[in-house]
Amino acid sequence: MEVVINDGCISCGLCTDLCPEFEMGPEGTAVPVENPVPEKWEGCSYEAAENCPVSVIEIEE
């Protein structure tokens, strides 16, 4: 699976707290760390996508 972060991240930091798949990029918005997502990070990537307050995290199977 892969994660895509669409425009509109409000830099709340939730995904980076929940999962090592996400970090803050140079523009101050979240970016994926590794695509395809390592298996051990898949569960928390889903959790981040479900909980992102502006629903900009997309999961591609």
What is the contact surface with ligand SF4 in residues (CB under 6 A)? 5, 9-15, 22, 29-30, 52-54, 56-57
Work out whether strand 22-24 and strand 30-32 pair parallel, antiparallel, or are unpaired. antiparallel
Cα-based torsion angle of the residue sequence 32, 58, 37, 22 in order, rounded to the nearest 10 degrees: 30
For the CB of residue 39, give the shortest distance to ligand SF4 in the complex, in Å. Answer: 21
Residues in the chain: 61
For the CB of residue 49, give the shortest distance to ligand SF4 in the complex, in Å. Answer: 9
Whose Cβ is closer to ligand SF4: residue 8's or residue 38's?
8
At 15 the three-state DSSP class reads helix
For the CB of residue 26, give the shortest distance to ligand SF4 in the complex, in Å. Answer: 14
